[in-house]
């Protein structure tokens, strides 16, 4: 899809969309179109239930003599609450409608309300971004789909008084969205396509953006004693890979990096503690945490962020092979702490224990954030609206909560106190990787906390957010790339240039 920012009044041969605020408060563009069509918009609204809620769509057949094929009224929500995210949600809903219609050309004419902090160029940029996010489609394996079933939207024109300013405002959004869409691809790929080595090969390609990429295979992991990670991988024929991405956008004067660590289980059968067959095919997205780390590091490099950052992606496959780790095994982690394996399907916390300590010990970062599709427990607690946030540092937690609100990737902080350590103490080792049925998301976070020392650290359990089974305004069914926009916003607001 080609995106262009054009002057108001530019001819729009296909569908043209104009915005209406909640309560039917018309934008200047809507009033102009209403006059030009002899009140067609007002008559259509009066004959419908359209009220201008965010993402609400009312399609109107273009009156005789109009220069467009159709007019779409799109709800912008409450005027006082209209911001960049609302603009993206409205544009995403608009994109979904147009993609289903078979239309090839879409023009959007929306102006911000008076007094809004969202100026014209940034509004145009967010509208374009919303369409791009929603227009994503993973269809590389669809070989028999009929042409009439495929979306045909090829050209998007955003009307803006200052097209050059809109293009400048769109550029950083586009680089982050490019990264998020690439992550959606990676997470959507089946396990026979994306496995530790092929993920590492994708990461190697990021050197073209200026990232330093280092791949540690089984031999190097053994030398460094990442035995908790190696134990998870030993039942698979695929060699584990620790992918290390470094971006030095602030140079020597930028000081210690901020570190991102991701769980990268490219397929999770559960190991010896094998999962039920029903739904196991979904476990291709158990590497979404590593995918998000891949994505944010790519985004930082693409927009030349003035920050030092490191990403660590711990890539394994968890399979019940003849050499698979057993329940009851004890592993000595890189930190020297020992972990009793109670459940081989609680593998993510084993992988992350070594990856976190590796990041902490080698890079001595000023902060660490890890992301993992770690527990079903967090979905029981929070459903599919918030990711779980655990932290040993209130400032970092508050920064992440704020970044979640501004990026639309929301977090909810859960408790992490010393009381929970009693639940994961082992009778024969330092820790056990399963504390029982209750508060499992907290138990997992409590174990991870033991491997970061005094470094400010936050753990994001994204199990409920990495994949969606229903369409959302800016996210179609499937992989969401949750975390890319969140962490990019965190860096921009709290670490970049500081």
**Which residues does the annotation mark as catalytic?**
275, 349
Token readout for 5 is 């920012």
Q: How far is CA 159 from the centre of its chain?
A: 28
Q: Classify residue 425 by its DSSP letter.
A: B
User: What is the C-alpha separation between 152 and 69, in angstroms, rounded?
Assistant: 15
Sign of the C-alpha dihedral computed for residues 161, 164, 169 and 172 taken in this order: positive
The length of the chain, given as a count of residues: 498
Q: Are 412 and 382 in contact (CB under 8 A)?
A: yes
Please give the backbone phi and psi of residue 229, each rounded to the nearest 5 degrees, phi first: -70, -45
User: What is the C-alpha separation between 445 and 439, in angstroms, rounded?
Assistant: 10
Q: How far is CA 117 from the centre of its chain?
A: 26
Beta strands in 380-428 (DSSP E): 387-391, 411-413
> CB neighbours of 198 closer than 8 A, spacing ≥ 6?
none
Say what angle helices 84-101 and 120-134 make with each other, to 10 degrees. 40
Burial 464-475, CB ≥16 within 10 A → b, else e: bbbbbeeebbbb
Q: Are 348 and 265 in contact (CB under 8 A)?
A: yes
């Amino acid at each position: 899809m080609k995106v262009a920012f054009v002057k108001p009044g530019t001819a729009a041969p296909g569908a043209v969309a104009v915005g209406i605020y909640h309560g039917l408060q018309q934008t200047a563009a809507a009033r102009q179109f209403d006059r030009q069509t002899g009140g067609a918009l007002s008559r259509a609204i009066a004959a419908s239930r359209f009220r201008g809620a965010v993402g609400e769509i009312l399609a109107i057949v273009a009156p005789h003599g109009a220069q467009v094929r159709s007019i779409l009224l799109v709800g912008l929500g409450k005027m006082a609450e209209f911001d960049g995210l609302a603009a993206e949600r409205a544009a995403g809903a608009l994109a979904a409608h147009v993609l289903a219609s078979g239309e090839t050309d879409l023009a959007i004419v929306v102006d911000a309300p008076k007094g809004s902090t969202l100026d014209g160029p940034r509004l145009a940029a967010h509208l374009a971004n919303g369409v791009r996010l929603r227009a994503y489609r993973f269809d590389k394996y669809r070989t028999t789909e009929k042409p009439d079933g495929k979306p045909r939207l090829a050209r998007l024109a955003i009307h803006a008084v200052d097209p050059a300013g809109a293009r400048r405002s769109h550029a950083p959004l586009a680089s982050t969205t490019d990264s998020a869409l690439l992550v959606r691809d990676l997470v959507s790929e089946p396990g026979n396509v994306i496995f530790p080595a092929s993920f590492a090969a994708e990461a190697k390609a990021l050197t073209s953006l200026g990232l330093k990429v280092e791949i540690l295979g089984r031999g190097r992991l053994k030398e460094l004693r990442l035995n908790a990670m190696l134990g998870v991988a030993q039942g698979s024929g695929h060699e584990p890979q620790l992918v290390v991405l470094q971006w030095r956008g602030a140079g020597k004067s930028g000081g210690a990096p901020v570190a991102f660590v991701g769980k990268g289980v490219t397929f999770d059968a559960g190991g010896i503690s094998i999962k039920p067959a029903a739904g196991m095919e979904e476990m291709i997205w158990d590497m979404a945490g590593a995918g998000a780390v891949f994505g944010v590091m790519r985004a930082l490099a693409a927009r030349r962020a003035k920050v030092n950052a490191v990403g660590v992606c711990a890539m394994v496959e968890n399979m019940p092979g003849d050499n698979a780790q057993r329940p009851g095994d004890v592993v000595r982690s890189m930190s020297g702490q020992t972990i009793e394996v109670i459940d081989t399907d609680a593998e993510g916390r084993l992988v992350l224990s070594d990856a976190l300590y590796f990041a902490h010990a080698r890079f001595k970062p000023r902060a660490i954030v890890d992301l993992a599709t770690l527990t079903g427990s967090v979905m029981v607690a929070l459903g599919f609206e918030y990711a779980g946030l655990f932290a040993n540092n209130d400032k970092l937690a508050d920064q992440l909560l704020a970044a979640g609100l501004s990026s639309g990737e929301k977090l909810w902080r859960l408790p992490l106190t010393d009381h929970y350590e009693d639940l994961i103490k082992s009778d024969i080792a330092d820790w056990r990787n399963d504390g029982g049925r209750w508060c499992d998301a907290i138990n997992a976070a409590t174990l991870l906390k033991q491997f970061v020392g005094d470094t400010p650290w936050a753990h994001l359990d994204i199990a409920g957010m990495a994949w969606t089974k229903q369409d959302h305004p800016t996210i179609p069914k499937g992989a969401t790339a949750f975390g890319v926009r969140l962490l990019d916003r965190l860096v921009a607001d709290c670490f970049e240039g500081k």
